[in-house]
Amino acid sequence: MCGIVGYVGQRSALDVVVGGLRRLEYRGYDSGGVALVTADGLATAKKAGKLVNLDAELEARPLPHATTGIGHTRWATHGAPNDVNAHPHVDDTGRVAVVHNGIIENFAELRAELEADGHELVSETDTEVVSHLVADRLAAGEPLPQAVHTVCRRLEGAFTLVICDAQTPGVVVGARRNSPLVVGRGDGENFLGSDVAAFIEFTRDAIELGQDQVVVITADDIVVTDFDGAPSPTRDYHVDWDLSAAEKGGYDWFMLKEIAEQPQAVADTLLGRHSSDGLLQLDEMRLSDDELRNVDKIIAIACGTSYYAAMVAKYAIEHWTRIPVEVELASEFRYRDPILDRSTLVVTISQSGETMDTLMAIRYARQQRARVLSICNTNGSTIPRESDAVLYTHAGPEVAVASTKGFLAQVVACYLLGLYLAQVKGVKYGDEIRRIVDDLEATPAAIQRVLDDAEEVRKIASALAGSRSILFLGRHVGYPVALEGALKLKELAYLHAEGFAAGELKHGPIAVIEEGVPVFVVVPPKGRDQLQEKIISNIQEIRARGARTIVLVDENEVDAVSAFADHIIRLPRVPTLFQPLVATVPLQIFACEFAAQLGHDVDQPRNLAKSVTVE
């Protein structure tokens, strides 16, 4: 979740590192700092709060010029967010500086050992022990890379480390276990980052680090080894987006920009999914058709917004394939002793590919011999690498903490997976799948229409800005849409918001309906299941109790609800299973506008981080 940058080259390391940290602000943080290897030794600066505080510190006390440096933005796990606990952490001799993401689980034991040996540790963090341990190995005569190898073998937990040594100029060493770290390959310069955004201004050539690897960068070389020091394989890749993709592009918020990018994100996720013979094809489908034909149960695992994408997937995949689908919170999955075997397909969904709860669920599933397919937006991340197969979304970088285009791209990827399974199992003919895909390929235009007609949503946000509680109702695929709408409002506006399955209204939730409470209702398109009639009855029930109803409905079926709606949000006509792609968008816009009117930081909501890399 925190941001890490490392640099060795010819430029001002301070400018490169601080610029990289600024591009990683979206990850959520509570302090920032830098360390430079100068001619006179280490020079450091760090401050709690936003990077503007670090800027002020650097202006008041400028650091000497350097071409080697590391930097960090921290999201507190061990110790309060203050200046002392901010990274980088330096050993008591002032020789070694360390920045760190993740959690070192045996830090208390290591700290006690260091203090018994006379080391003075000044922070409350688990990170500081690493600087002292590395310094001890250097004092014993080990070169910096070997010292890092030695120390990494002693550490337990999930960590990314980036380290520099005052007596080893021109070298930065990184290490990773269960936490992201990527290498940027430049010309006469090289980079480290927790995300490619850290160095995208300078290079789009990256190296994917594997599990338990150490990387040593100099201006002209990159060497990757395992924790024992043996050469270790890597994979080079090219980033297909540039710096402008991570800038606001004229919007007030990254979130608004990313909402506007959703038609393109959906179209890109659908792009290139057909082979020359007209069959569906998926990215890195390393599972054979025979293995997929043997699947008799699917468990979809995710966290947060991705969990609601998994809920949508259940409706679609079961409908198209007749394979039963369970949906699980990743944080709960392995603690209930789930029943898995080789005929179980575990589908994990993660925007970042680094969500620790989901990663641990994958490892548990593979121990139980289940097959794992991941849906992910981040090439080179840990979750795809540890899965049997991958379906990449192509949403591009998502900077705002609250996911928008990432969610829609995940939903589309789930549809593609369901159709692919139907194709492999032979439960749908090719022309049936083609018609469904044609409908799916028409949805970007429908999403664009929602965006073009969003003024009514903004007016509703203004009208409801004084509300302290807002409810959301839905049925069928509208139920996860309601949950996602409530989550967006909680994340951004910090008020009570809750989503319900509309059919459950009379089983308890109707008790919270009172005069003036706004209730968003996602109305399913009219069909043979009579769900529309049932949810209209729910609208009448809550309206009779004084609720203020905001109804999302197919533009061709407005007459069915107009008598019971205080506000109507018209949705383009799409097949029922695809309604989340158009119905979610107005709720995203509403949450963004509502929070902005309250004066909140829409892109960086309090207490949240973009990628949760600890359990």
User: Which residues are the active-site residues?
Assistant: 2, 610
Helix (H) or strand (E) holding 331: helix 330-333
Name the DSSP class of 524.
P
Three-state SS annotation for 256-280 = HHHHHCHHHHHHHHHCCCECCCCCE
**Cα–Cα distance between 481 and 485 in angstroms, integer?**
6
**Collapsed DSSP state (helix, strand, coil) of residue 67:** coil
The encoded tokens of residue 259 equal 């909402």
In order, the DSSP letters of 458-518 are HHHHHHTTT-SEEEEEE-TTHHHHHHHHHHHHHHHH-SEEEEEEGGGGGGTGGGG--TT-E
Other C-beta atoms lying within 10 Å of the C-beta of residue 373: 27
Closest CA to 539 of 502, 578, 486: 502
**Cα–Cα distance between 518 and 287 in angstroms, integer?**
47
Confirm if 161 and 142 have CB atoms less than 8 A apart: no
Residues 6+ apart with CB under 8 A from 298: 317, 323, 324, 325, 326, 344, 345, 346, 347
Whether cis (ω within 30° of 0) applies to the bond prior to 88 is yes
**Cα–Cα distance between 513 and 401 in angstroms, integer?**
31
Buried b (16+ CB within 10 A) or exposed e, 257-266: bbbbbbbbbb
Confirm if 409 and 584 have CB atoms less than 8 A apart: no
